[in-house]
């Protein structure tokens, strides 16, 4: 078991390294560097920039050096000092910008995960036990539609309905009066009132998918001989269901927890943009549209890092849940 954990840990570190390379390649990829696009902007604004000034920017950003030195500098600054580079667009350090908005993204992601699993596990098991019942069909239909609606469309529709029916804007995470207020209990309540919309938007497709998986894997288990044996032995139906088939059926669900997290993190930026949440989404899109690549690359790295750590945690959970993996390598 310890070997398995070490194995996964080493793999996680390697993946993180690989992701940081990808993020760095992304930073380097746009033709022309930041200095060029900045010069371009100044040109358009009618205040052309001087060549010396351009060189100064290049020197300060270190973009006159070869790429491996830049990568080495970038990664060592990040690991050692938590410095992720400088966003010229915002004229602030990237790490500050991200740190400001990341908590909300994480809050959103975890609320969504909790909602997804909290809804999907009972519904999935119920649909499997009552296969082809009316409720099963209703959930299947809702699930199909939930899978087919793009996140942003669902967000748009909910916002439209919210405006038509309640006459309030459902965008953002706070009402105007709480926007800049210090943290207090009413502000938390206000946040919760706003948070459910993006959580529903983000969670719908994932929940639909999870329900289908749980339903299918529970159905597989229900047909097995040991279930029949236990039933013949006189175990009460509920106890039997929860103790054996459900426990088995949960394995693939836990194993893919990392992918679910990936999925939620992946959808978060677009929902953030559409609903104009004060999270990392709009920041990310803005950075991309302006090719502010240090910020964009840093965000890609952060998004990836969270999903990779999530995968690692789901691996650990699987070890706790499934004795077969715990025993691996011991025999």
Partner 1 sequence: MTTTVQAIALRKGRLRRPEVATQWQLMWWKYKKHHMALVGMTMLAVLVFSAVFAEFLSPVVPSERNNKYLASGPMGIHFFDAEWNFHPRPFVYARTTKRDPVTLRKLSVIDETKFWPIQFFVRGSAYKFWGLIDTDIHLIAAEGGFVHLFGTDNLGRDVFTRTLHATRVSLSVGLVGVAFAFILGAIIGGIAGYFGGMIDNLIMRLIEFIRSVPTLPLWLALSATLPREWTSFQVYLAITFILALIGWTHLARTVRSKLLALREEDFTLAARLSGCTDMRIILRHLLPSFMSYMIVDVTIAFPEILLAETSLSFLGLGLRDPVESWGVLLYAAQNVRSIAHMPWLLIPGLFVVLAVLAFNFVGDGMRDAADPYSK
Residues that bind partner 1 (CB under 8 A): 15, 18-19, 22, 26, 29-31, 144-145, 147-153, 156-157, 159-160, 163-164, 169, 171, 258-259, 262-263, 265-267, 269-270, 273-274, 284-285, 288-289, 291, 296-297, 299-300, 303-304, 307-308, 311
Q: Give 244 or 263: the residue with its C-beta nearer to partner 1.
A: 263
Q: Give 241 or 310: the residue with its C-beta nearer to partner 1.
A: 310
Q: Which residue has the tokens 């995960």?
A: 113
If DSSP codes are grouped into helix, strand and coil, which group holds residue 86? strand
Helix axis angle for 185-222 and 245-255, nearest 10°, is 120
Shortest separation between residue 169's beta carbon and partner 1, angstroms: 7
Shortest separation between residue 154's beta carbon and partner 1, angstroms: 9
Distance CA 49, CA 271 (A): 37
- Adjacent-strand bridge partners of 86: 93
Shortest separation between residue 270's beta carbon and partner 1, angstroms: 6
Shortest separation between residue 176's beta carbon and partner 1, angstroms: 16
Q: Do 314 and 258 touch, CB atoms closer than 8 A?
A: yes
Residue 186: C-alpha distances to residues 12, 30, 103, 192, 197 (Å): 40, 45, 19, 10, 18
Distance CA 143, CA 197 (A): 18
Q: Give 200 or 230: the residue with its C-beta nearer to partner 1.
A: 200
Q: Give 22 or 192: the residue with its C-beta nearer to partner 1.
A: 22
Q: Give 19 or 125: the residue with its C-beta nearer to partner 1.
A: 19
Shortest separation between residue 52's beta carbon and partner 1, angstroms: 27
Q: Do 143 and 211 touch, CB atoms closer than 8 A?
A: yes
């Amino acid at each position: 078991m310890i070997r398995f954990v070490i194995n996964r840990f080493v793999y996680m570190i390697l993946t993180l390294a690989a992701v940081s390379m990808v993020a760095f390649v992304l930073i380097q990829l746009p033709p022309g560097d930041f200095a060029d696009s900045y010069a371009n902007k100044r040109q358009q604004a009618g205040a052309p920039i001087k060549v010396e000034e351009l060189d100064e920017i290049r020197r300060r950003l270190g973009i006159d050096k070869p790429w491996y030195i830049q990568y080495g500098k970038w990664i060592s600054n990040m690991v050692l000092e938590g410095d992720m580079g400088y966003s010229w667009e915002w004229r602030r350090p990237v790490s500050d910008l991200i740190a400001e908005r990341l908590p909300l993204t994480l809050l959103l992601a975890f609320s969504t995960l909790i909602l997804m699993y909290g809804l999907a596990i009972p519904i999935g098991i119920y649909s499997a036990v009552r296969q082809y019942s009316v409720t099963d069909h209703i959930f299947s239909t809702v699930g199909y539609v939930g899978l087919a609606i793009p996140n942003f469309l669902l967000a748009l529709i909910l916002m439209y309905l919210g405006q038509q029916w309640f006459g309030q804007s459902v965008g953002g995470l706070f009402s105007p009066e709480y926007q800049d207020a210090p943290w207090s209990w009413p502000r938390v309540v206000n946040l919760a009132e706003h948070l459910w919309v993006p959580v529903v938007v983000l969670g719908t497709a994932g929940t639909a998918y999870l329900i289908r998986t749980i339903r299918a894997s529970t159905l597989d288990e229900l047909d097995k001989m040991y279930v029949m044996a236990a039933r013949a032995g006189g175990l009460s139906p509920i106890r039997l269901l929860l103790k054996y088939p459900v426990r088995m059926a949960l394995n693939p669900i836990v194993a893919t927890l990392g992918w679910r997290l990936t999925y939620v993190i992946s959808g978060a930026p677009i929902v953030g943009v559409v609903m104009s949440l004060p999270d990392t989404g709009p920041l990310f899109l803005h950075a991309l549209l302006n090719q502010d690549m240090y910020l964009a690359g840093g965000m890609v790295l952060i998004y990836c890092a969270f999903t990779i750590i999530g995968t690692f945690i789901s691996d650990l959970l699987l070890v706790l849940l499934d004795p077969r993996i715990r025993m691996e390598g011991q025999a």
